[in-house]
Amino acid sequence: MLPLIASLLLIYEDIGKDYKSLLYKFYRVGVMKPGTLLALPLGLGLALLIVGLTIWSTRLIAVGSGILVLGVVSYVAIRSELELKKVSSRFETNFYENVLRLMLEEFELYDENTIYFLPSSLGGESSILISHKNIDPPIDLKTVPKRLFFEHNGVFYIRFPSIISMLSAYTVSRTNNVSEVESQLDSFLKDLGLISSIKIVEKPDGTLIVDTVPSKDVVINDVPTNSFLNLTGSIISDSLNSILQFIKVERNGDIYRIYFRMI
Amino acid sequence: MGYTSYTKFILSYSIVFLATVIFGFLLNENRVDLYISLYILEYFVFSAIYGVRLSTTLNIILFIIFMIIVAYRIIEILFPGVLF
């Protein structure tokens, strides 16, 4: 009964609002995590079942067993939805990485390059700009042509939609606060199963330092196709509405330190 | 509202569960196995309607419970008095 009541309350609360998954919202806002969702009906259901068996009330047994089944089913449904979301996001990011890698190889931009992240306010959608050479600054980034491949002062550039445009289930919220960006990033990357923790520090000179402990098997490097780098840069750039230049990645044990510069 | 299939499934299942209990009580139904078999049946029907893929282990467990209940009822009809 509890999942039903919680669901109805949230429906009532969110009538007219646009979001995709009520169950997902349970999980995201931490109102009801899958484990909690299982624990509540399990406790109630078991209590009713035991009382029903003790005093031999078939009605209590029926309700208790029903709540138990409902709790387990709700838990499994939430877990399955999260798993499905993770799998589909992984598929989308793999597809994106492969397309971008092919483009970089095709235009021979793979070896030496500088990576910039442009917010969606510049040209309609958040994008990644990769220059052919390490030139600083290569171009007036606020007037970058909205073209896939272009040349400016003898330097070739590729402008590609950022990885967040592939992940249809996620939207970035604008903010001026770095701690809010950190919370968004934490939520995004944890949902995708990429990290266990993340922290962003802003230096007075406009440098952003991202310290993160990635999940097992997640690789972070300075290649533009790296989904972690791409996702992190795009989200920070779009949420702060600022152009971001990727500087370097350092590794110290399990902790990766990524440097960006706000332009 | 754009709910996912999983959300629709769990909402529908919760509502039907509630309806089953209410109607069962109104009809003065006291057979526990009937309630449990209905819960299981509703689970399979709604997961098929919404096309949600849930746990295979859970499906097998619920199916076995359902089959035990069905077998119990069949034995009771064919061989009355054999079972308690």
Residue A79: its chain B contacts at CB < 8 A?
A: 55
Residue A238 · residue A126 · CB < 8 Å: yes
| Contact B18/A at CB under 8 A | yes
Residue of A22, A63, A79, A83 to mutate, interface with B, max B Cβ within 10 Å: A22
Instruction: Please write the tens of the pLDDT for every residue from A57-89.
Output: 888 999 999 999 998 898 888 888 888 887 887
Query: What is the H or E stretch that residue A131 is in?
Result: strand A127-131
Parent domain of B30 = 5-78
Please tell me the predicted confidence (pLDDT) of residue A262: 85
Answer whether residue A10 shows pLDDT above 70.
Answer: no
A30: buried, middle or exposed (CB in 10 Å: 19+, 13-18, 0-12)? exposed
Please tell me the predicted confidence (pLDDT) of residue A151: 79
| Contact B19/A at CB under 8 A | no
Please tell me the predicted confidence (pLDDT) of residue A138: 55
Residue predicted with more confidence, A234 or A36: A234
Q: How confident is the model at residue A122 (pLDDT cuts 50, 70, 90)?
A: confident
Please tell me the predicted confidence (pLDDT) of residue B70: 94
Query: Nearest CB to A73: which of B3, B36, B43?
Result: B43
Average pLDDT estimate for A95-101: 84
Average pLDDT estimate for A116-126: 82
Query: Nearest CB to B24: which of A20, A62, A80?
Result: A62
d(CA B46, CA B52) in angstroms, rounded, equals 9
* A/B interface, count of CB pairs below 8 Å: 98
Answer whether residue A107 shows pLDDT above 80.
Answer: no
Q: How confident is the model at residue A5 (pLDDT cuts 50, 70, 90)?
A: low
Interface contact flag, B4 A72, Cβ < 8 Å: no
Average pLDDT estimate for A223-234: 85
| Domain count within chain B | 1
Q: Is B84 among the domain residues?
A: no
Left if phi > 0, otherwise alpha if psi is -120 to 50, otherwise beta: which for A16? left
b vs e for A74-106, b when ≥16 Cβ sit within 10 Å of the residue's Cβ? bbbbbbbbbeebeeebeebbeebbeebeebbee
Q: Is B83 among the domain residues?
A: no
Query: Nearest CB to B13: which of A19, A73, A80?
Result: A73
Interface contact flag, B2 A72, Cβ < 8 Å: no
Residue A58: its chain B contacts at CB < 8 A?
A: 30-32
Residue predicted with more confidence, B23 or A187: B23
Answer whether residue A143 shows pLDDT above 90.
Answer: no
Please tell me the predicted confidence (pLDDT) of residue A6: 54
Q: Is B60 among the domain residues?
A: yes
Residue predicted with more confidence, B18 or A218: B18
Helix axes A34-55, A58-106, angle to 10 degrees: 160
Instruction: Please write the tens of the pLDDT for every residue from A154-188.
Output: 778 888 888 887 776 677 788 888 888 888 888 88
Contacts of A75 (CB under 8 A, 6+ apart): A34, A35, A37, A38
Give ipTM to 2 decimals.
0.89
Q: How close, in Å, is residue B8 to chain A by CA atoms?
A: 9
Q: Is B65 among the domain residues?
A: yes
Residue predicted with more confidence, A17 or A51: A51
% pLDDT > 90, chain B: 64
Q: Is B40 among the domain residues?
A: yes
Instruction: Please write the tens of the pLDDT for every residue from B44-79.
Output: 999 999 998 888 999 999 999 999 999 999 998 898
pTM over 0.80: no
